[in-house]
Structure 1
Amino acid sequence: AAPPDPGPGLENGLDPDQDPDEDLDDEVDASRLERFMRDRRRAQSLPAYPAELLERVPEEEEGRKRVKFADALGLNLASVKHFSALEEPQIPTKVLSRHRSFPPPQDFLCHGLKSVPDTDRLVSCFPEPRDADRRVRDLRVCLEKVSVTQFDVRGQIRALSGGGEAGVREVGVRYTFNEWLSHVDAQALPVSAEPPPGLVGQRFAFTVYTPPVMDPSSAVHFAVFLRSDDGEFWDNNQGHNYTLRYRCMPGNEGFVSAAFHAT
Structure 2
Amino acid sequence: PESMLNIDPVSSGLEEDGDLEDEEDASHLEKFMRDRRRARSLPAYPAALLNGDPGRKRVKFADSMGLTLASVKHFSSQEEPQIPSKVLSRHRSFPPPQQDALAGLCHSFRSVLDTGRLVASFPEPRDAERRVRELRVCLETLTVTRFDVRGQVRVLRGSSVREVGVRYTFNDWLSYVDAQAVPAGEPRAEGLRFGFTMSTPPCVDPSAAVHFAVFLRSDEGEFWDNNLGQNYTLRSSRPLKTAALEDRMLA
Aligned-CA RMSD value: 2.5
Q: Work out which of the residue numbers 109, 119, 123 in structure 2 matches 1:123.
A: 119
Query: Which structure shows the bigger proportion of residues in helix conformation?
Result: 2
Could you give the per-residue CA deviations for residues 52-101 of structure 1, whole angstroms, max 9, x where no partner exists? xxxxxxxxxxxxxxx9825332149xxxxxxxxxxxxxxxxxxxxxx9xx
Deviates more, 1:172-181 or 1:206-215: 206-215
Letter in 1 for 2:127: D
TM-score normalised to the size of structure 2?
0.50
Match of 2:193 in 1: 203
Could you give the per-residue CA deviations for residues 96-132 of structure 1, whole angstroms, max 9, x where no partner exists? xxx9xxxxxxxxxxxxxxxxx6541100000000010
Could you give the per-residue CA deviations for residues 2-43 of structure 1, whole angstroms, max 9, x where no partner exists? xxxxxxxxxxxxxxxxxxxxxxxxxxxxxxxxxxxxxxxxxx
Residue 237 in structure 1 maps to residue 227 in structure 2: yes
Distance 1:142 1:220 in 2: 18
Match of 1:136 in 2: 132
Match of 1:174 in 2: 167
**75 and 239 in structure 1: CA distance in 2 versus 1, 3 angstrom threshold:** farther
Distance 2:220 2:233 in 1: 28
Structure with the bigger RCO (C-alpha within 8 Å, sep 6+) is 1
Q: Work out which of the residue numbers 174, 177, 185 in structure 1 matches 2:178.
A: 185
After TM superposition, give the deviation of residue 248 of structure 1 in Å: 2.8
**176 and 75 in structure 1: CA distance in 2 versus 1, 3 angstrom threshold:** farther
Larger Rg: 2
Letter in 2 for 1:246: S
After TM superposition, give the deviation of residue 212 of structure 1 in Å: 3.6
Match of 2:94 in 1: none
Identity rate, percent: 66
Match of 2:150 in 1: 154
Distance 2:67 2:231 in 1: 74
TM-score normalised to the size of structure 1?
0.48
Question: Structure 2 stretches of 5 or more lacking a match?
Answer: 1-64, 75-98, 100-112, 240-251
After TM superposition, give the deviation of residue 194 of structure 1 in Å: 3.8
Match of 2:41 in 1: none
Match of 1:25 in 2: none
Distance 1:152 1:131 in 2: 25
Q: How many residues align?
A: 138
